[in-house]
Each structure stands twice: as structure tokens, then as C-alpha cells.
Amino acid sequence: MAFVDALAQLIDATIRVSVPLLLACLAGLYSERSGIFDIGLEGKMLAGAFAGASAAAVSGSAWVGLGMAILIAVCLALVHGFASITHRGNQIVSGVAINFIAAGSTIILGQAWFSQGGRTPPLSGPARFEAITLPGADALRDVPVIGLIYSELISGHSILVYVAFLMVPLTWWVLFRTRFGLRLRAVGENPAAVDTAGISVTWLRYRAVILTGVLTGVAGAYLSIAQNAGFVKDMTAGKGFIALAALIFAKWKPVPAMFACLLFGFLDAASIRFQGMAWPVIGKVPVQLVNALPFILTIILLAGFIGKAIPPRAGGVPYVKER
């Protein structure tokens, strides 16, 4: 029974840790399906986390924090779009610049506003998204198997967790069952054909980067006002880059992206749980090595276990309208 409880706790932690990866991965999916490569997911998540925690601390409302996180992330996404779409700049350079801006400005503004070494004040009560107990969770808690799954794994998460996983079927439906999704996929493969049909390539790509900003803002808000009780320096800790790896691992498809993020989330959760644990034969593993395991597996998977991943053909290439 102890093993079952430990496994349930590990799966529960996997779900919680996977949420920012999943949101960022879906954000990158919209952008890259339109032909805009976005390495700045990390920066937009970080800026969203800081903006969300700051607004929540000042206003006392988690919803205000969420709105501010989305607003700031969308603004940064529009900056990336302005550089990459309007001015046809290098998309990698633009994304890296956003990462640097977010990493530096969050620390400077945090110290200037709150004088806590770049942190925001601790959040509590209505300033945080608390866990939600679903109907019947307490009544089913003692039921074997079903009660454990429903009360421990499905119930007891914040609203942003449910939003993240609901975004997977919604994204699939948008991309593969709507006119907007068809055009979005087409502009990522052959923008000239879309332009010939009288559809604005620029407007389609701007809508894609706005969706990217919304989702990365929600991911950042989750980190600072749901999973944690405030913002700390560099709290994204490379999650934006792991989300990009998960996107490539999933071959730019939403459902495989969810499973890829759950895999990386499981490794992250396991690395946290196994810190300081003594293993048979090899003894205690250094904490640094355990923390590096998710990144090591990311490299291994991308190097040889996913087959040939073919990105959208127009990805990373500025579109120049023929005259």
C-alpha cells in the first residue's frame, strides 16, 4: 500500500510539473505551425510569471495577476512578431533577445518595486489559485482504485491545471477542424499559396504569435500564483526550452505533445523525489546529477529516439511577397 501511495504522489507531482511545459509546448505549436520559430517561450513565461505575481501581490487577486501575465506575454509576443513578421528579422535572434530582456528586467524591477532581492512578496488567500476539490472526491476517497484516482489524481488541482489539459483537445480541434487551423497549417507550409488565395499571411502569423503569448502568459502565471506562492529569480528554470524539445519530440502535434510533456514532467518530478536517496550498489547520487536527468534525457531522445522530425517547411523563413 505504501508503494501505491508513493506512486500516486509521484503521478500527482508529474501532472503539476507538466502543466507549464504543456502550456508552453502548445504555445510553440501555434507559432511554429504558422512558420514562426519561437525560442523566446522561456522569456515570455518568465515575464508572465513576474507580472502575474506582482499584480496579484498588489491587487490581492489571482485573476488580476493572470490577466497581467497574459498581457505582458502577449506584448512580448507582439515584439517578436514585429521583428520577425513585419521586419522579416532573424527569428532566433529575436527570441534570444526576449529571453535576455525577461531574465534581466524581472530581477531589476523586482528589486526596485519590492526590495526583496528580485522576489515578489509571498502570496496567499485570494491572491493565489488554490486547489479545487471536485464534487464527490471526499465521498469516494476510501473506494479502492477509483477513489484514489479520482480524489488524489483528478481532484485537488488548481483551475489552471484543468485549463491546460483542456487546451489539448481544443488545440487539436482548432488546428484540424476549423478554417483558421487549416489556414494556419497552410501558411506554415506554403505561405505563397495562401497569399495567392487572397488570405493575409501577416495577419495569420500575428494571430498565431498572439495565441502563443496568451498560453505562455498562463504558463507563467501558473508557476508564480498557482504552483508557487510568488516569483523568484529564474523560476522557469529552462522549462521553455524543454517545451520546445517536447514539441519536436511530438512532431508538432497536440496530443503527442501532451504525452511528451508528461514524460518530461515525470522525469522532473522523479528527480525532485529522489534527491538525497541512497540507491543500491551506487549509494547516494549527487543532487546535481539528479537535477540534470530531465535535460540529459531530452538530449538522448532528440538525438536518436524520435526518428525524423520534419518541421513546417516555411518555419523560420521570413515571407517576402512576390510582386
The CATH number of residue 273's host domain is 1.10.3470
Q: Is the pLDDT of residue 280 over 70?
A: no
Element (H, E) at 279: strand 278-279
Task: Kindly report, residue by residue over 56-101, the tens digit of the pLDDT.
Answer: 999 999 999 999 999 999 999 999 999 999 988 889 999 999 999 9
Task: Kindly report, residue by residue over 194-241, the tens digit of the pLDDT.
Answer: 888 888 899 999 999 999 999 999 999 999 999 998 999 889 988 898
Q: How many domains does the chain have?
A: 1
Asked, for residue 314, whether it belongs to a domain, the answer is no
Asked, for residue 318, whether it belongs to a domain, the answer is no
Q: Is the pLDDT of residue 295 over 70?
A: yes
Asked, for residue 323, whether it belongs to a domain, the answer is no
Q: Quick one: average pLDDT of 155-180?
A: 93
pLDDT band of residue 304 (cuts 50, 70, 90) is low
Q: Is the pLDDT of residue 271 over 80?
A: no
pTM above 0.85, yes or no: yes
Q: Please give the residue range of the domain that contains residue 151.
A: 2-302
Structure confidence at residue 192 (pLDDT): 86
Asked, for residue 310, whether it belongs to a domain, the answer is no
Structure confidence at residue 75 (pLDDT): 95
Structure confidence at residue 3 (pLDDT): 67
Q: Quick one: average pLDDT of 105-134?
A: 88
Tell me which DSSP letter residue 311 carries. Answer: -
Asked, for residue 315, whether it belongs to a domain, the answer is no
Asked, for residue 13, whether it belongs to a domain, the answer is yes
Count how many Cα atoms sit within 13 Å of the Cα of residue 155 in the half-sphere of its side chain: 16
Coil vs helix vs strand at 284: strand
Q: Is the pLDDT of residue 163 over 90?
A: yes
CA dihedral 158, 129, 26, 183 (to 10 degrees): 110
CA–CA dist 164, 20 (Å, integer): 8
